Amino acid sequence: MDKYLVLIMFLQVALTSGIMILMGRRRFAAARNREFHLNAFRTMDLAGANEKVITASRNFDNLLQMPVLFFAGVLAVLQQQQADVVFVLLAGVYVALRVLHSLVHVTSNQVRMRFNLFLLSCVVLWAFWLRLVVVMW
């Protein structure tokens, strides 16, 4: 089961990396088209940037927040040698929800859909951690 958890963590890393690349491409394209100046990144004042630049930037920020708890939880499961089918399923569902959340965020940006996906991913992450505490207790 360990290798599946590591693979799922890798998928989360790949998602974050993909969004980082998308963010960079959108930023450079906007700067090249003179939609805003690169100096805006000194203070991260993206007020003059187009929506595509802002959504990719915000999504990248999102992927550096809650997923930290995911990585910590998976590493704890691996370190304690508690990996099983339930942890793998919870981890897989969490990452799948994060992928969907990112896709919505950087495309249609439908707020209600995005929020629901975020909330569901949080519930799955809380379930992962609750189960970890119960198993370890």
H runs (alpha helix) in 1-137: 2-32, 51-62, 67-79, 85-106, 111-136
pLDDT at 97 exceeding the cut of 90: yes
Fold of 2-136: Four Helix Bundle (Hemerythrin (Met), subunit A) (1.20.120)
Q: Residue 133 corresponds to which tokens in the numbers above?
A: 């505490």
Contacts of residue 117, Cβ cutoff 8 Å, sequence gap at least 6: 97, 100, 101, 104
Confidence label for 53 from pLDDT (cuts 50, 70 and 90): very high
Mean pLDDT, the chain, integer: 95
Q: 12 with 71: CB under 8 angstroms?
A: yes
pLDDT value for 121: 99
At residue 34, what are phi and psi to the nearest 5 degrees?
A: 60, 35
Confidence label for 48 from pLDDT (cuts 50, 70 and 90): confident
